[in-house]
Structure 1
Amino acid sequence: MISDLDAYFRRQTRPQRAELTQVAIAAAADGIPAIGPQLGHLLTLLAQFGGVRRALDLGAGNGYSALYLADGMAAGGEIVALEQNPARAIAARQNLAAAPVKTSVLIGAAQEVLMGLAPAFDLILLDIDKADYLFTLEHCARLLRPGGLLVADNTGFADAEPFNAALLADARFRSVNLLCLLPGHSPEQDGVALAVRQ
């Protein structure tokens, strides 16, 4: 094995575009926990590999994650983002204005907004308050198309435990929950769940 694997894999992170760095800096200044470039690049790869045309970003912050998703999507795609904090939603709209796909940022709590959304999405990124993850699972199952992908960040948080258990037991999803080293992520060591809608 390579000695000091943590340090080695921190050096394996691809640099991000300057625009994304600026959005990340603004997010940090506003106290928004960042997904970081490593998970961001993974979102880009997943969107590209899956041919994602319609994505749902639950917990948009200032749009940083959605920008990475947009980088992997074909022109003509659409991202619907949800953000509870109005000021952050406005920032997300500004940051996503130049994205290569159509974007809309909805303002409100997941409990209020999800019931009004219509299927079908190719990919859902789940990154809201962890205590609300379990509530969203039913909606994610409803909103994802068969073969669609759910990406849940921060599954290492204690408040995500009920969601983790429910996802593992849910026959509607084929899932894997990974412990990851994610440079630039808050926190750097955390869980990420990937689940395909059956």
Structure 2
Amino acid sequence: MITDERIAAYIDSLDKELPEFLRQLEKKALSEYVPIIKKPVQSLLRFLIANKKPDSILEVGTAVGFSSIFMSQYIKEEAHITTIEKMEERIRQAKENRKTAGKENQITILEGDAADILKSLKQQEKMYDMIFMDAAKGQYLNFLPDIFDLLRPGGLLISDNVLQDGDIVESRYAVTRRNRTIHFRMREYLYALTHSDSFETVVLPIGDGVTLSTKLVK
């Protein structure tokens, strides 16, 4: 969306092939207009997991389970992924896909509203090495305080779709009326991350935009 289409297509052609099950899941999700992580974000996640070697990952926004199953291909055998989803039909599909992939021991699906579940996890004093934010875009800023508390010092927060297909640079009046609130909140979220004394953040113009934020050790 931001890089030249020919360059993006060439880079995608260099990427590793997905395992057959994930390839079919990706194809089905795209045909049904289910939002899943794009090829550049897949490559980035694979690289970051290999680099950080997280023992625990929290994902906010499961959808049909594509990204959690994808990440589970690269984590250590003893590592674990916890993922949150509130839509009943997507929970059903995610559980089915998790079972088919043989990942029931590595992936836990928490059912319900992320705002409530994040607070519950915080009360349980859970901590995660890596958090992948891929939920309702207008809620990112609302989730951030709890996300911060759930992330270990030195841990990595990855936020997807932050540049909104390039619309983030537009005036709010150039954005369709139904997207203006999300546009405003995402700008606030990006400002909060990039101006925080508690995170070191980089914004990457890949896919629909990704931020990488390291929680600083005080």
TM-score range, shorter chain: 0.7 to 0.9
- Given the alignment of the two structures, is residue 37 of structure 1 paired with residue 39 of structure 2, yes or no? yes
Give CA deviations for 1:19-74 in whole Å, capped at 9, x if unaligned.
Answer: 11121123224431121233123212211211111100100111111112111210
**Which segment drifts farther, 168-177 or 12-21?**
12-21
Q: Which residue of 1 aligns with 2:61?
A: 59
Paired amino acid for 2:191: A
* Equivalenced residues, count: 189
Unaligned runs of 5+ in 2: 1-5, 165-182
- Give the strand-richer structure, 1 or 2: 1
User: Contact 1:75 / 1:101 at 8 angstroms: preserved in 2?
Assistant: no
Q: Which residue of 2 aligns with 1:96?
A: 98
Percentage of identical aligned residues:
27
Q: Is the 8 A contact 2:55 2:79 kept in 1?
A: yes
Say if 2:82 is the partner of 1:75.
no
How far residue 94 of structure 1 moved from its aligned partner, in angstroms, is: 2.1
8 Å contact from structure 1 (residues 146, 197) kept in 2: yes
The code of the aligned residue for 1:62 comes to V
Give the aligned partner of residue 85 of structure 1.
87
- Counterpart in the other structure of 2:209: 191
Q: Is the 8 A contact 1:119 1:145 kept in 2?
A: no
Structure 1: gaps spanning 5 or more residues? 183-189
**More displaced, 128-137 or 105-114?**
105-114
Q: Give 3-state SS (helix, strand or coil) of 2:14's partner.
A: coil
Amino acid at match of 1:81: T
Q: Give the secondary-structure state (helix, strand or coil) at the position aligned to 2:73.
A: helix
User: Aligned equivalents of 2:66 and 2:136: distance in 1?
Assistant: 17
CA displacement, residues 70-99 of structure 1 (integer Å, 9 cap, x when unaligned):
112101111110011111112112222312
Between stretches 162-171 and 37-46, larger displacement belongs to: 37-46
Is the partner of 2:83 in helix, strand or coil? strand
Preserved contact between residue 12 and residue 39 of structure 2 (Cα < 8 Å): no
TM-score, normalising length: structure 1: 0.87
What does residue 186 of structure 2 align with? 160
Q: Which of the pair is proportionally richer in helix? A: 2
Q: Distance in 2 between matches of 1:73 and 1:89?
A: 22
Residue in structure 2 matched with residue 187 of structure 1 by the alignment: none
One of 110, 114, 120 as aligned partner of 2:118: 114
Cα deviation, residue 138, structure 1: 0.8
- Preserved contact between residue 70 and residue 100 of structure 1 (Cα < 8 Å): no
C-alpha RMSD of the superposition? 2.0
- How far off its partner does 1:101 sit? 5.2
Structure of higher CA gyration radius: 2
Partners of 1:154 and 1:146 in 2: CA distance:
24
C-alpha separation between the residues in 2 aligned to 1:24 and 1:51?
A: 25
